[in-house]
């Protein structure tokens, strides 16, 4: 039973309009966050607000809750104008911001009481409502725990409970899936489903395009403009018959992908385990891709279209397949076939074990993924491998060098690209490049040549005196990659390299990474994008500080095959693995 | 090559990065350039320990010649703006209660008569104890005036006050002569402290610090490259203040410039070490700024700038010796006014060197320990 306004009035709304957006525009200085947006959000439905970072999702959410005033157009929520009837909006809507909006030093119960009091409700007299909310969010056993000590998923549930306190008619959730492991995310979907069944309008904003497919209706935003409004199936239907997979290409898949992407008839392509998935341009025939399949002696099978295919198609297709960067790079020479290795790697912070006895070996030229939810120890393990953290026990080697002893020598052989592209925001693009060259001791002609080469490869010539923050996201990522590759490292560490990046930029990024791997550069990558793990040769799955599985993406997916799920995704595989290891642990205990 | 502890190429790259980060950041520029100029104006013109522009109340019950003389002298005293005449003891109390006057003089009926009879006349002085410091100074001024009246009573006789006070080094007790040299140290302290405490924290916020740590650069290089810009800016600021003292305020500069410059450099180095320690333990720039003030303000209070170190409890006196500003104040004040001999300067210079070495070493260790 959901605690929602199961009142008859809301049920009557049925398909009535909950939010009406009429030609909404919002500017911040010179930046157009939203441009001429018109759409209708209905009761009793889950509406996805989908788009990459910077598309305008949060701006639109904040306008709908009356926290921002639009520059143009009007917005009505539950019949109230967000500007004129601002007070009514706060009663009619529940908003869960990205950063939870919880008081971390208060307990779960204290947070709920506080939100109830802020809404002018008497906590004592609403004991039933509290019990209902706690039951609904399954937070009952944790009422005395501090909000700051909850896991990402539990924080989201508590945030949801607080947003539901006033029994809103319209519930706005800003990126509720971020920082939440797949298991908790399932839970959130279930709760939202229960709410829409009761007649509430729920808006779920997300940068994950795969989440869009689970929504009943989707508003697809890109750079402040509405690209699509309707059920996601309607959009993917347009792509019917254009998605194919080259099955079991195996070791040659990167070369095949490059060739496929360079075909004029192919609009987009990604690696999926051992296969290559391609999307053809509208109206293009299958001849070219068929001949490529014949040439590689593999089978070409039609596959259902995905929402992401449709998004990329709307944007005019993905980038080409050839990496100008990798073309210029000489092949990597390494003394040994093992580029990175670790044995019994363990890290403890006080009583807490972040990484528990992890061992693996990574071969030269391999793309190796570390996968896991937040708090699984992925980041700690990664930091020990590249020398940012000292292990409590065990050892890690990069190109045969122990990072604890031969630090300088080992460090000059590895490249590192941090999350959110850590660039010096106060320095210009050229100064950033100069700095990277200098800190890796490039001098004289080599230095000049490398910098010019990076500028030419990544097409940064027009931006040299701009600051990184003013660059478009794609260029910013190119600059970060240029800085980390300046010294031509044989091993490249990528920490969540594509979080929040639009799919086109992600494609371009992976084109370079695939090119580098083909030249023998070893790539270590962490990601929480489950489908991105498909690009990896092998994936190490971490859960609760332990390595729970290490295999090729296809093999991991095979483990999760069941009669109900003949073709599981990486996310299915992950949930399956986590649940089965937990069952084993319980059985052992 | 890459295994070496110090590399010129790497150092140069980082030094350029640090300088550009400070100069291209409007906030850093504000931190560096605005407070010094503001503080120079505020401290030099507004903050003063002299008593000026005060009102005094007088309840004169005596109609005689000597009380008249006394009031006349009060009227013409330059530190008094108004002499408020009142007609009752009650009014006198009210004026003090309301804080309208800092002190009140009650002259008894028999004041002139007693003096004429050859006795010594006495008047009552009431002082506002809430403003004890200014009050005491006012009382001292009033006593001087009373003594002058006394001298006029017996013309030709010996002055009633045989002691002549002569203030060495600052004969007219010009307050600025004392405060401006001290400001040199305080301003250099805060600029160097803020620049360095922000530097690592800023990189940590941006995420570039991890980027730096995975590069072949060594911890000593990071410390050196972050020290140099702060050292350069702190020294320039110190020199700016010294020249303002000499040329703008005309404070006599009697000591050795070379020794003062050497002390300034060592002083700033020791502050840079403290700033880098704060930065190494701060996760955000906000924490770093709070840390800088949490350290900087007590350091100034205990340094002997506001109150003499000798007045503090012994334990705090020992602590004061660990504060770089304590030693630098002695040197800078001595160099300006006292022509402090080289030996005395060196006696305060070596503690600075020890502190600098200790703080910079600790900062290096702290940055390195963050890698654990």
* B245 assigned to some structural domain: yes
Superfamily of domain A8-235 in CATH is P-loop containing nucleotide triphosphate hydrolases (3.40.50.300)
* Other residues' Cβ atoms within 10 Å of the Cβ of residue B67: 23
Residue-wise pLDDT for B196-247, tens only, equals: 998 899 888 888 888 888 888 888 889 999 999 999 989 998 898 888 888 8
* B226 assigned to some structural domain: yes
**B240: its two tokens:** 């700016």
Q: Is the pLDDT reported for residue A416 higher than 60?
A: yes
Q: Spell out a b/e string for A415-446, using b for 16 or more CB atoms within 10 Å of the CB, else e.
A: bbbbbebbbbbbbbbebbbbbbbbbbbbeeee
Q: What is the mean pLDDT of chain B?
A: 83
Specify whether B262 is located in the same domain as B221: yes
Rounded-to-integer distance, Cα B105 and Cα B70, Å: 10
pTM across the whole model: 0.77
Closest CA of chain B from A508, distance in Å:
23
For A123-134, the DSSP string reads TGGGHHHHHHHH
Average pLDDT in the A524-536 region?
82
Rounded-to-integer distance, Cα A403 and Cα B344, Å: 50
Q: Which domain holds residue B43?
A: 8-47+173-369
Question: Where residue B164 falls among pLDDT bands split at 50, 70, 90?
Answer: low
Closest Cβ–Cβ partner in B2, B21, B218 for A426 = B21
Contacts of B214 in chain A (CB under 8 A): 386-388, 411, 414, 416, 493
Residue-wise pLDDT for B52-62, tens only, equals: 788 888 888 88
- B211 to A431: CB separation less than 8 angstroms, yes or no: no
Q: What is the pLDDT of residue A500?
A: 67
* B162 assigned to some structural domain: no
Closest CA of chain B from A388, distance in Å:
6
Closest CA of chain B from A221, distance in Å:
28
* B70 assigned to some structural domain: yes
Interface contact B20, partner A, CB < 8 A? yes
Grouping H, G, I as helix, E, B as strand and the rest as coil, residue A4 is coil
* B347 assigned to some structural domain: yes
Contacts of A431 in chain B (CB under 8 A): 16-17, 20
Q: Is the pLDDT reported for residue A317 higher than 60?
A: yes
CATH number at residue B76: 3.40.1710.10
Per the listing, tokens 């309008």 go with: A201
Specify whether B313 is located in the same domain as B229: yes
- A416 to B216: CB separation less than 8 angstroms, yes or no: no
Q: Is the pLDDT reported for residue A523 higher than 90?
A: yes
* Other residues' Cβ atoms within 10 Å of the Cβ of residue A567: 10
Contacts of B14 in chain A (CB under 8 A): 435, 438-439
Q: Where are the beta strands (DSSP E) in B11-140?
A: 54-60, 80-85, 103-107, 124-127
- A408 to B21: CB separation less than 8 angstroms, yes or no: no
When scoring A426, A442, A483 by the number of chain B Cβ atoms within 10 A, the one with the most, hence best to mutate, is A426
The residues pairing with A31 across neighbouring beta strands, listed in sequence order, are A28
Closest Cβ–Cβ partner in B24, B25, B216 for A441 = B216
Among the ranges given (A122-131, A137-146, A454-463), the one the predictor scored with the smallest mean pLDDT = A122-131
Q: What is the pLDDT of residue B46?
A: 65
* Other residues' Cβ atoms within 10 Å of the Cβ of residue A269: 29
A561: DSSP letter: -
Of the residues B108, B125, B153, which one is the last residue of a structural domain?
B153
Specify whether B322 is located in the same domain as B274: yes
Closest Cβ–Cβ partner in A412, A425, A426 for B216 = A412
B306: DSSP letter: S
Closest Cβ–Cβ partner in A390, A439, A442 for B371 = A390
Q: What is the pLDDT of residue B355?
A: 93
Which of B153, B74, B141 is closest to B112 using CA atoms?
B153
Closest CA of chain A from B254, distance in Å:
43
Nearest CA in chain B to A390: B372
Q: Is the pLDDT reported for residue B161 higher than 60?
A: no
Q: Which helix (H) or strand (E) holds A549?
A: strand A546-551
Q: What is the pLDDT of residue B263?
A: 92
Closest CA of chain A from B5, distance in Å:
8
Question: Where residue A434 falls among pLDDT bands split at 50, 70, 90?
Answer: very high
- B372 to A414: CB separation less than 8 angstroms, yes or no: no
Nearest CA in chain B to A386: B214
Interface contact A448, partner B, CB < 8 A? no
Q: What is the pLDDT of residue B154?
A: 67
Sign of CA dihedral A57, A60, A61, A62: positive
Of the residues B91, B118, B153, which one is the last residue of a structural domain?
B153
Closest CA of chain B from A412, distance in Å:
5
- A438 to B21: CB separation less than 8 angstroms, yes or no: no
Closest Cβ–Cβ partner in B1, B13, B206 for A422 = B206
Interface of B with A in 193-232 (CB under 8 A): 206-208, 210-218
Closest Cβ–Cβ partner in A418, A423, A439 for B14 = A439
Rounded-to-integer distance, Cα A131 and Cα B357, Å: 61
- B213 to A388: CB separation less than 8 angstroms, yes or no: yes
Q: What percent of chain A has pLDDT over 70?
A: 96
Residue-wise pLDDT for A447-503, tens only, equals: 998 899 889 888 888 888 888 888 877 788 889 989 998 888 999 999 888 776 778
Of the residues B153, B181, B203, which one is the last residue of a structural domain?
B153
* B164 assigned to some structural domain: no
Q: What is the pLDDT of residue A540?
A: 92
Specify whether B202 is located in the same domain as B119: no
Nearest CA in chain A to B214: A411
Contacts of B21 in chain A (CB under 8 A): 424, 426-427
Specify whether B13 is located in the same domain as B118: no
Q: Is the pLDDT reported for residue A589 higher than 90?
A: no
Q: What is the mean pLDDT of chain A?
A: 84
CB-based contact B262:B345 (threshold 8 Å) = no
Q: Is the pLDDT reported for residue B131 higher than 70?
A: yes
- B218 to A434: CB separation less than 8 angstroms, yes or no: no
Q: Is the pLDDT reported for residue A75 higher than 80?
A: yes
Average pLDDT in the B124-145 region?
82
Rounded-to-integer distance, Cα A517 and Cα A39, Å: 44
Rounded-to-integer distance, Cα B83 and Cα B73, Å: 10
Which of A52, A50, A54, A55 is closest to A232 using CA atoms?
A50
Specify whether B84 is located in the same domain as B200: no
- B21 to A388: CB separation less than 8 angstroms, yes or no: no
Contacts of A407 in chain B (CB under 8 A): 216
Grouping H, G, I as helix, E, B as strand and the rest as coil, residue B98 is coil
Q: Is the pLDDT reported for residue A8 higher than 60?
A: no
What residue ranges do the domains of chain A occupy? 8-235, 244-322, 337-413+489-583, 427-486
DSSP 3-state percent helix, strand, coil across chain A (nearest 5): 40, 25, 35
- A441 to B10: CB separation less than 8 angstroms, yes or no: yes
Contacts of A340 in chain B (CB under 8 A): none
Q: What is the pLDDT of residue A491?
A: 92
Rounded-to-integer distance, Cα A97 and Cα A118, Å: 16
Interface of A with B in 293-322 (CB under 8 A): none
Average pLDDT in the A107-115 region?
87
Interface contact A486, partner B, CB < 8 A? no
Is A445 or B306 the better-scoring residue by pLDDT?
A445
Rounded-to-integer distance, Cα A445 and Cα A430, Å: 16
The residues pairing with A230 across neighbouring beta strands, listed in sequence order, are A218
Q: What is the pLDDT of residue B48?
A: 61
Rounded-to-integer distance, Cα A76 and Cα A89, Å: 9
Is A498 or B258 the better-scoring residue by pLDDT?
B258
Which of B288, B349, B351, B295 is closest to B321 using CA atoms?
B351
**Does A337-413+489-583 match A8-235 at the fold level?**
yes
Contacts of A440 in chain B (CB under 8 A): 10, 215-216
Specify whether B87 is located in the same domain as B199: no
Q: Is the pLDDT reported for residue A88 higher than 50?
A: yes
Which of A377, A369, A373, A386 is closest to A347 using CA atoms?
A377
Specify whether B236 is located in the same domain as B92: no
Rounded-to-integer distance, Cα A495 and Cα A521, Å: 16
Specify whether B295 is located in the same domain as B333: yes
Specify whether B353 is located in the same domain as B223: yes
Closest CA of chain B from A347, distance in Å:
10
Specify whether B84 is located in the same domain as B146: yes
- A441 to B7: CB separation less than 8 angstroms, yes or no: yes
Rounded-to-integer distance, Cα A148 and Cα B85, Å: 67
Rounded-to-integer distance, Cα A85 and Cα A83, Å: 6
- B216 to A388: CB separation less than 8 angstroms, yes or no: no
For A422-460, the DSSP string reads ---TTS-HHHHHHHHHHHTT--HHHHHHHHHHHHHHTT-
The domain total for chain B is: 2
Interface of A with B in 403-432 (CB under 8 A): 406-409, 411-412, 414, 416, 418-420, 422-427, 431
* B166 assigned to some structural domain: no
Nearest CA in chain B to A489: B215
Specify whether B26 is located in the same domain as B67: no
CATH number 3.40.50.300 given to A337-413+489-583: yes
Which of A512, A452, A459, A511 is closest to A481 using CA atoms?
A512
Is A530 or A523 the better-scoring residue by pLDDT?
A523
Contacts of A426 in chain B (CB under 8 A): 20-21, 24-25
Q: How far is CA B286 from CA A99, B194, B198, B205, B291, in A?
A: 19, 11, 9, 10, 8
Q: Is the pLDDT reported for residue B158 higher than 60?
A: no
Rounded-to-integer distance, Cα A43 and Cα A11, Å: 8
């Amino acid at each position: 039973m959901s605690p929602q306004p199961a009142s008859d009035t809301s049920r009557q709304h049925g398909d009535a309009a909950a939010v009406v957006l009429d030609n909404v525009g919002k500017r911040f200085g010179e930046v157009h966050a939203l441009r001429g947006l018109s759409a209708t959000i209905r009761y009793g439905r889950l509406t996805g607000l989908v788009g990459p970072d910077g598309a305008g999702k949060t701006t639109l959410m904040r306008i709908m809750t009356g926290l921002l005033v639009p520059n143009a157009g009007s917005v009505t929520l539950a019949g109230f104008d967000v500007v004129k009837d601002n007070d009514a909006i706060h009663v009619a809507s529940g908003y869960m911001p990205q950063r939870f909006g919880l008081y971390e030093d208060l307990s779960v119960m204290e947070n709920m009481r506080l939100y109830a009091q802020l809404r002018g409700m008497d906590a004592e007299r609403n004991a039933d409502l509290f019990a209902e909310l706690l039951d609904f969010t399954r937070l009952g056993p944790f009422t005395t725990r501090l909000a700051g000590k909850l896991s990402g998923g539990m924080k989201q549930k508590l945030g949801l409970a607080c947003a539901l306190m006033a029994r809103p008619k319209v519930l706005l959730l800003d990126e509720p899936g971020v920082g939440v492991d797949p298991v908790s995310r399932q839970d959130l979907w279930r709760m939202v489903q229960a709410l829409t069944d009761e007649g509430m309008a729920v808006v779920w904003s997300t940068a994950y395009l795969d989440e869009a497919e689970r929504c009943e209706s989707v508003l697809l935003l890109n750079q402040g403009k509405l690209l699509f409004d309707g059920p996601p199936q309607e959009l993917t239907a347009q792509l019917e018959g254009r998605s194919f997979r080259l099955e079991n290409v195996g070791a040659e898949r990167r070369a095949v992908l490059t060739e496929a992407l360079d075909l004029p008839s192919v609009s987009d392509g990604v690696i999926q385990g051992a296969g290559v998935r391609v999307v053809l341009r509208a109206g293009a025939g299958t001849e070219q891709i068929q001949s490529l399949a014949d040439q590689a002696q593999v089978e070409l099978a039609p596959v259902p279209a995905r929402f992401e295919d449709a998004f990329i198609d709307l944007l005019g297709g993905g980038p080409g397949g050839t990496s100008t960067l990798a073309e210029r790079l000489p092949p990597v020479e390494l003394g040994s076939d093992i580029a990175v290795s670790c044995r019994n790697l363990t890290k403890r912070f006080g009583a807490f074990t972040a990484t528990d006895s992890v061992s693996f070996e990574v071969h030269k030229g391999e793309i190796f993924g570390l996968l896991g939810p937040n708090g699984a120890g992925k980041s700690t393990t990664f930091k020990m491998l590249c020398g940012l953290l000292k292990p409590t026990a065990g050892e890690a080697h990069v190109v045969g060098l122990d990072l604890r002893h031969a630090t300088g020598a080992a460090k000059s052989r590895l490249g590192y690209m941090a999350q959110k592209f850590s660039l010096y925001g106060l320095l210009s693009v050229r100064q950033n490049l100069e700095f990277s060259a200098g800190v890796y001791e490039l001098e004289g002609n080599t230095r000049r040549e490398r910098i010019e080469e990076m500028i030419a490869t990544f097409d940064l010539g027009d931006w040299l005196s701009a600051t990184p923050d003013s660059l478009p996201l794609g260029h910013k990522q190119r600059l970060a990659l240029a800085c980390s590759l300046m010294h031509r490292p044989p091993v490249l560490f990528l920490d969540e390299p594509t979080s929040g990046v639009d799919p086109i930029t992600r494609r371009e990024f992976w084109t370079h990474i695939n090119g580098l791997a083909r030249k023998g550069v070893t790539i270590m990558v962490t990601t929480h994008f489950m489908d991105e793990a498909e690009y990896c040769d092998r994936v190490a799955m971490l859960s609760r500080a332990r390595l729970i599985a290490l295999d090729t993406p296809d093999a991991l997916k095979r483990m999760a095959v069941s009669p109900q799920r003949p073709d599981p995704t990486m996310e299915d595989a992950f949930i399956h693995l986590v649940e089965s290891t937990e069952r084993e642990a319980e059985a052992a205990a | 090559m890459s295994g070496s502890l110090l590399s010129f190429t790497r150092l140069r790259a980082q030094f350029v990065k640090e300088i550009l980060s400070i100069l291209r950041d409007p906030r850093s520029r504000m931190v560096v350039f605005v407070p010094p100029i503001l503080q120079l104006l505020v401290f030099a013109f507004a903050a003063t320990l002299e008593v000026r522009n005060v009102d005094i109340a007088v309840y004169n019950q005596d109609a005689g010649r000597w009380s008249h003389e006394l009031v006349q002298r009060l009227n013409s005293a330059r530190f008094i703006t108004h002499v408020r005449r009142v007609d009752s003891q009650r009014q006198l109390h009210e004026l003090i209660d309301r804080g309208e006057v800092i002190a009140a003089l009650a002259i008894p009926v028999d004041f002139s008569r007693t003096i004429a009879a050859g006795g010594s006349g006495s008047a009552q002085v009431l002082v506002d104890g809430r403003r004890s410091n200014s009050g005491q100074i006012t009382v001292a001024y009033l006593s001087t005036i009373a003594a002058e009246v006394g001298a006029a009573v017996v013309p030709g006789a010996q002055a009633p006050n045989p002691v002549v006070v002569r203030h060495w080094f600052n004969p007219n007790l010009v307050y600025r002569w004392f405060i401006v040299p001290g400001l040199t140290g305080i301003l250099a302290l805060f600029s160097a402290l803020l620049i360095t405490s922000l530097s690592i924290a800023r990189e940590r916020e941006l995420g570039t610090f991890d980027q730096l740590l995975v590069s072949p650069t060594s911890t000593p290089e990071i410390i050196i490259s972050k020290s140099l810009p702060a050292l350069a800016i702190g020294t320039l600021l110190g020199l700016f203040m010294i020249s303002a003292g000499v040329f703008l305020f005309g404070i006599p500069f009697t000591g050795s410039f070379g020794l003062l410059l050497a002390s300034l450099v060592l002083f700033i180095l020791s502050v840079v070490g403290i700033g880098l320690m704060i930065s190494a333990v701060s996760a955000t720039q906000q924490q770093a700024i709070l840390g800088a003030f949490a350290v900087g303000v007590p350091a100034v209070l205990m340094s002997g700038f506001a109150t003499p170190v000798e007045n503090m409890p012994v334990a705090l006196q020992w602590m004061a010796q660990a504060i770089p500003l304590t030693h630098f104040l002695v040197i800078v004040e001595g160099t300006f006014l006292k022509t402090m001999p080289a030996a005395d300067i060196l006696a305060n210079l070596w503690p600075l060197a020890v502190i600098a070495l200790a703080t910079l070493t600790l900062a290096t260790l702290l940055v390195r320990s963050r890698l654990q």
